[in-house]
Amino acid sequence: MKTIGFDNEKYLTTQSEQIRRRIAQFGGKLYLEFGGKLFDDFHASRVLPGFQPDSKIRMLQQLKDDVEIVITINANDIESSKVRGDLGITYDEDVLRLIDSFREMGLYVGSVVLTQYTGQKAAEAFLKRLETLGVPHYRHYPIPGYPSDVDFIVSEEGLGQNEYIETSRSLIVVTAPGPGSGKMATCLSQLYHDHKHGITAGYAKFETFPIWNLPLKHPVNLAYEAATADLNDVNMIDPFHLEAYGKTAINYNRDVEIFPVLNAIFERIQGVSPYKSPTDMGVNMAGNCIVDDAVCRHASRMEILRRYYAAGVKHMRGASNEQEINHLKLVMNQAETTPDIFPAVAVALKKAEETGAPAAAMMLPDGRMVTGKTSSTLGCASAMLLNALKLLGNIDHDVDLISARVLEPICQLKTQYLLHKNPRLHIDEVLLALTISALRNEPAQIAKEQLSKLRGSEVHFTVIISEEDERILQRLGINISCQPRYETTRLYHK
């Protein structure tokens, strides 16, 4: 099966070249607002098969002698202990994690900026922590009327009140632990202060999606709309680009809506705006690196389907609403996406009907299908995983990879001593048992060696699985979706 639709090496080369050109355009200094994830961009790797999750970092490493990283964080997010949902850590802790990660990759972190600072106690404590750790830090303050009151924004009482960030490199990458951290405002503040200091500098934006030179309703762009359905973002034709150049380009509503204000701010700071459209501000070259459009279209439709199922699960957990689900239904219709595009859905539902219990079906990267059913000792996720390892290792289906002598004491430990009501093993417990069994069991050892081959597999479950099983499957590189219903009618689920 052909699974590559994106030329990652070409992307690394063309993207870094494009950024160098933009730096040169502004006389040697550029503030680059980095949207999305710098690390682990799994959405991009799913919808553009061949895109490596670490591509953005690798691209920056090619420019590392010119790169200085500035991390912004909203002081209100520190005060409210806002948590990154994918990592389970607060935004302020994630800032420290990001600094460590950048440094380990040989990238220079210049400073941390606290935006919307009003003396919040938790924010002040974080500033003291940064000082103790030797991390340069700055305060930026709320600006009344931002972003619409241009006269006040571009004044000493507006941007002028912010502390000036001392920078030393030509490419200043402005990033953050999450949305709403004030990246753009930080860039504008620096442009204002640099202009006052007689320093020529420019601004650009790096957003992978939507891809500006793909059609509006291309599944890759619709997959981005599905990914941001909770924000109610909508892709749209950039009207400013169409008017200026007579060419169609794709952007999204928030950038289009804010562009007239940004344009006015650029003109007020520098005398003239360098851009005629929000698309002009971008530097993304991903659309030029698609080598198989059909592969990317199918992958994006699969992502849209996963997002739809995920929204249903979120709704059951009380973290989503009908508006988000309805938006996703509209996107699915536009992308001509139904559960029929993913054979594992029907296979899993049939297995559940046959067994009268939760079931799972996995489509391996080579297209082969494997199922898992619920038993007294194994959940359907664990059973499916073991069956997949047997298939990949050419191990007879009837072979017990983990003997009853190992399984039963673990189940007893869970119920008798740890007081779990459910004796069935989660995936992490099964993997530990498999590893122990592999010490004296050759088939178990062969099965364990197949784990890396699961990466890129697609799984569907007939019930919502535990968050722990979900995390382990994701770490194995397996894409999952679940029917939005629980195994039991209990109100509390973990």
Predicted local confidence at residue 200, as pLDDT: 92
Which residue segments constitute the domains of the chain, with CATH numbers given? 8-220+231-289 (3.10.630.10), 352-482 (3.40.140.40)
Predicted local confidence at residue 3, as pLDDT: 81
Predicted local confidence at residue 440, as pLDDT: 86
Q: Report residues of the chain scoring pLDDT below 50.
A: none
Pick the closest to residue 391 from 368, 367, 425 (CA basis): 368
Joined together, the tokens standing for residue 445 give: 């050892």
Q: Are 395 and 417 in contact (CB under 8 A)?
A: no
Predicted local confidence at residue 383, as pLDDT: 94
Query: Which residues lie closer than 8 Å to 155 by C-beta, 6 or more apart?
Result: none
**What are the pLDDT digits (tens) for 291-318?**
999 999 999 999 999 999 999 998 888 8
**What are the pLDDT digits (tens) for 446-487?**
999 999 999 999 999 999 998 889 989 999 999 999 999 988
Predicted local confidence at residue 424, as pLDDT: 80
- Phi then psi for residue 203, to 5 deg, are -130, 140
Q: Are 439 and 415 in contact (CB under 8 A)?
A: no
The C-alpha atoms of residue 408 and residue 414 are separated, in whole angstroms, by 10
- Which three-class secondary structure state does DSSP give residue 85? coil
The C-alpha atoms of residue 101 and residue 79 are separated, in whole angstroms, by 24
Predicted local confidence at residue 21, as pLDDT: 96
- Which three-class secondary structure state does DSSP give residue 242? helix
Model pTM?
Answer: 0.89
Question: How many residues does this entry show for the chain?
Answer: 494
Predicted local confidence at residue 347, as pLDDT: 97
Predicted local confidence at residue 492, as pLDDT: 56
Peptide bond into 147 cis (omega under 30): yes
Predicted local confidence at residue 210, as pLDDT: 95
Joined together, the tokens standing for residue 109 give: 């972190």
Predicted local confidence at residue 193, as pLDDT: 96
